Structure 1
Amino acid sequence: MKTPSQKFLERLGLKDPVMSETSAPQGNGNDRRDFLKKVGAGGLMLGGFMFSPIEDTLAQATSKVNKLSSPTDLKITDMRFAVVMNGHARCPIIRIDTNQGISGYGEVRDGASWRYAMFLKSRIMGMNPCSVELLFKRIKQFGFHGRQGGGVCGVEMALWDLAGKAYNVPAYQLLGGRYRDKVRLYADTPEGENEADFAQKVNVRMVEQGFTFMKMDFGIELLKGIPGTTVNSNYWDIGRQWSNEAMTYGGTEHPFTQVQITDKGLELMTQRIAFVREKIGYEIPLASDHYGHFDHNNAIRLGRAVEKYRLAWLEDLIPWKFTDQWRQITEAIETPTLTGEDIYLKEEFIKLIDARAIDLVHPDLATSGGLLETKKIGDYAEERGVAMAMHFAGTPISFMANVHCAAATQNFVALEHHSVDVDYWNSLVKTKKPMIEKGYALVPDSPGLGIELNEEVVKKHLDPEYPAYFAPSTDWDKDRSWDRLWS
């Protein structure tokens, strides 16, 4: 019959040294000596072990066990930022720290200000980062469309990274599990100095880098200075669609420029598409973007002119908010239509989907609301027969957030990779397995987002205007306003 002490040792998964010696005929006493030696080395002799309080006994017995954090007791203690240059784009990274020594990383959308995120610090301090949706609902009022959503989304990314690390599972597992173990990527067609140079670079994209999905730009800025190709270009500088000053062509929404494309202009634009199609073939999906600022009638003309090239989609022909005009475009052409990279939260996507205004949704996770909100967008679209591609142009932190969301969303088509030619991009983070392999992102099995910063490389590529690396941010600790939206 076993004694109470023997039963207690069994519950701890330990052998009684006396029983081991008497019940094993071949034993020579080594079990007993080893047991006493191990216990003694830990600072607790056998007699003390037997009669110590249960808390001390369990602590000693499990002192060598690899314990995870205690998720229910996890608290946010700090949030800091560093601004990384991703090629020419400024990408703020945030780090949320906790009382248990684990940190989570997120990213404010490329080109946005770190202030969008740091403004939220006082709203989340002291809270449990594993309550991701609770915290998201607390801060989502402080985001908006375009880059203004970047702060909320960056915090949400970091919360999923923390929650995954706390529970020791990948972020996609917390979203419901994965549909795929690799995520298809699409990349821009490269620039070339001439036809031969372009052909060589495209070959690198498809053969060496392994991309199976491409996207190209062809806009009316190609027509600048060519007589007879556009109407009203004597007033607007159609070569400057990226300006944002008031009352400039780039800063004026498409319906209000009254720019029109002539037949000659359409012919020159389609020649560019034909050239790219010839080089990559028809087996490769070819999407398109950045056409310039003109109204939905000219968008329909353009859409009809390119139908024979079987493009994967026409992206952001007009601003996303003009739902009725999008529906008119979509109904008038065969080529799929797509928009959404500047939409914040699911509600505006729902309007477009319900109106059958577009053929694919195209959220940028760093604007649309983060991982869970973007999955909700994809799930809603799926129920109504609409596919989801994903826009992305940041560092590996936001990239991996997209990968987890894409892995967990069934109607996903492809994720943009906009930094293929940034030579240090992959080395900004450390991962257990490669992030990208032959045109696909490999879905990680590591906890959280599955990445850690490579501090040495990140420090070499900080924004010269903000060279500090996660400096203290106590100025953002105090909540100075009453934010509730109801009485």
Structure 2
Amino acid sequence: MSTSTSTSTVSEEYVSTASRPSDLRITDVRVANLHGVPFRSSIIRIDTNQGLVGYGEVRDQASASYALVLKSRIVGENPCNLDKVFRKIKQFGHHGRQGGGVSGIEMALMDLAGKAYGVPAYALVGGKFRDTVRCYADTPSLLDPHEMGERLLERKRRGFTMLKMDVGISLLWDVPGALIAPAGSRDDVSTMHPFTGIQVTPKGVEHLASYVDTVRSIVGYDVALAADHFGHIAIDSCIRIGRALEPFTLAWIEDLIPWQYTDQWRQLTEAVAVPTCTGEDIYLTENFKPLLDAGAIRVVHPDPATSGGIAETKRLGDYAQEKGIAMALHLAASPIATMACVHLAAATENFLALEHHAADVPFWSDLVTGLPRPLIQDGYITVPDTPGLGFGEINEELFRQQLDPRDPVFFAETTHWDGEFSHDRLWS
């Protein structure tokens, strides 16, 4: 007995016991609401009884309440029990930005578990397939295609090997004879695409094709180019546009119709020789399966800040791969959710590219420490081998400068969420 005690004491002299994963417990959840990174982002901080801190991020422009409502459900839990905690909270997510709370919490759990075990987040979901992650620069469109081409060319000169722009009815509203549209439809953002009554005429289709032709001639054919934001138009107009864009070898055409309409996506995909892409507003793998099982798209495009975080989106990628479908990642976020996506992308074999929406935010890379500056170099992010999400600390000074004026408190206390309770069980 004495020998055993002595051996234990001696061994612990050489072992760090600052983190005992089996004893780790969540003690608090707080949020700092930032703006301009590039949009509003709610950064989640999860505290523990051992001093470890984990960070995640709510989907861009979503309510921080989607995360804070989960506080009382996860305080006291061991964040290393990743699947157990995720199964406990996933019922509180939904499609679109309503998935942002569960997904952001999952990212923070991954950050904590990685730190507790001393491994990068990608190791928690199977290891990595790549050492660098390709990013594509999304760029808001300009009405003049020559100006748009030059704007994209600037991205290309920075080293981005993939670009994305908006091509749709936003370019056509002031073009006579380009659209047939009911009164008031220009400002209608709530009616789903098949029901708006907006039609793109042959002149409108020709205008869009000419726009893309001009942009393509400026950026060249040695860079991938995708197109998004076609507008709330029905499938017939989508098919005509898709066919007109075939000569320009686009990487994909994105979100032409709502993701819920599997049969229409299949019709569109079968009708055009351009890869079709959707998925940024879908929550959980099970809800992607109708599209994937039907072969209704060529590229699946989840936003991990909606789809369920790192592990759930990794499951989605693997399922899509079985169906022969590649996975790109939608994202408009700070470096925190970006690094969560980097680990996910590293661990997913059929990954194509990760969206970057902050090419015009000069301080973006400085929001966290411990990573290369700039974070994106020659269009790629190097996958870090440091624990958790891989960055050092948040830049507290810069965080305070970027706090949303509507909620300018730096990780305010959240005790008013401690008593949140309901009988959550989904069966009797």
Matched, 1:437 2:377: yes
For structure 1, list consecutive stretches of 5 or more residues without a partner in the other structure: 1-51, 241-248
Q: Tell me what 1:448 maps to.
A: 388
Distance 1:259 1:211, change over 3 A: same
8 Å Cα contact 2:95-2:306 kept in structure 1: yes
Bigger radius of gyration among the two: 1
Cα pair 1:169 1:447 within 8 Å, conserved: yes
The separation in 2 between residues aligned to 1:294 and 1:65, in whole angstroms, is: 62
Give the residue type in structure 2 aligned to 1:462: L
- Cα offset, 1:58, TM superposition: 5.3
Flag structure 2 segments of 5+ consecutive residues without an equivalent.
none
Q: Distance in 2 between matches of 1:477 and 1:54?
A: 43
Is 2:173 the partner of 1:232? no
Equivalent in the alignment of 1:288: 227
1:203-352 equivalences in 2 (<5 Å): 203-207=153-157, 209-233=158-182, 235-238=183-186, 240=187, 249-352=188-291
Using structure 1 for the length normalisation, give the TM-score: 0.84
- Quote the residue 1:376 is aligned against: 315
Q: Which amino acid aligns with 1:359?
A: R
CA–CA distance in 2 between the matches of 1:167 and 1:437? 29
Question: What displacement does 1:115 show?
Answer: 0.2
Give the corresponding residue for 1:81. Answer: 31
The equivalent residue for 1:101 is 51
CA distance in 2 between counterparts of 1:397 and 1:104 reads: 10
1:118 alignment partner AA: L
Q: Distance in 2 between matches of 1:59 and 1:101?
A: 23
Give the distance between the partners of 1:372 and 1:456, measured in 2 at CA: 31
Q: Which residue identity is paired with 1:76?
A: I
Cα gap change, 1:356 to 1:396, in 2 (>3 Å): same
- TM-score in terms of structure 2 length: 0.95
- Which residue does 1:484 correspond to in 2? 425
1:460 aligns with 2:401: yes
Give 1:17's aligned residue.
Answer: none
Q: Does 1:130 align with 2:70?
A: no
Kindly tell me the number of residue pairs found equivalent between the two proteins: 426
Counterparts in 2 of 1:95 and 1:192: CA distance versus 1, 3 Å? same
Is 1:121 paired with 2:94? no
Shift of 1:195: 6.9
State how far apart, in whole Å, the 1-side matches of 2:277 and 2:235 are.
Answer: 14
Query: Residue type of the partner of 1:275?
Result: T
CA contact (8 A) 1:86 1:394 kept: no
> Equivalent residue of 2:35, what SS?
strand
Aligned residues of 1:68 and 1:167 also touching (Cα < 8 A) = no
Which string of whole-angstrom CA distances, capped at 9 and with x for unpartnered residues, describes residues 248-296 of structure 1? x211100001111111111111111011100111121110000111111
Identity of aligned residues (%): 54
Letter in 2 for 1:472: E
1:61, distance to aligned residue in structure 2 (A): 7.1
Please give the per-residue CA displacement for 1:282-335, whole angstroms capped at 9, x wherever unaligned. 121110000111111111111111111111111000000000111111111110
Following the alignment from structure 2 to structure 1, what is the Cα–Cα distance between the partners of residues 216 and 184?
31
Q: Write the deviation string for residues 103-151 of structure 1: whole angstroms up to 9, x where unpaired.
A: 1001000000000000000001101000011000000000000000000
Q: Partner of 1:48 in structure 2?
A: none
* Alpha-carbon shift at residue 199 of structure 1 (Å): 5.2
1:95–1:104: 8 Å Cα contact kept in structure 2?
yes
CA RMSD of aligned residues (A): 2.0
Return the letter of the residue paired with 2:333.
Answer: G
Question: What is the rounded CA distance, in whole Å, between the counterparts of 2:145 and 2:247 in structure 1?
Answer: 22
- The one-letter amino acid of 2:125's match is L
Matched letter for residue 394 of structure 1:
A
How far, CA to CA, are the matches of 1:114 and 1:325 in structure 2? 34
Shift of 1:441: 1.1
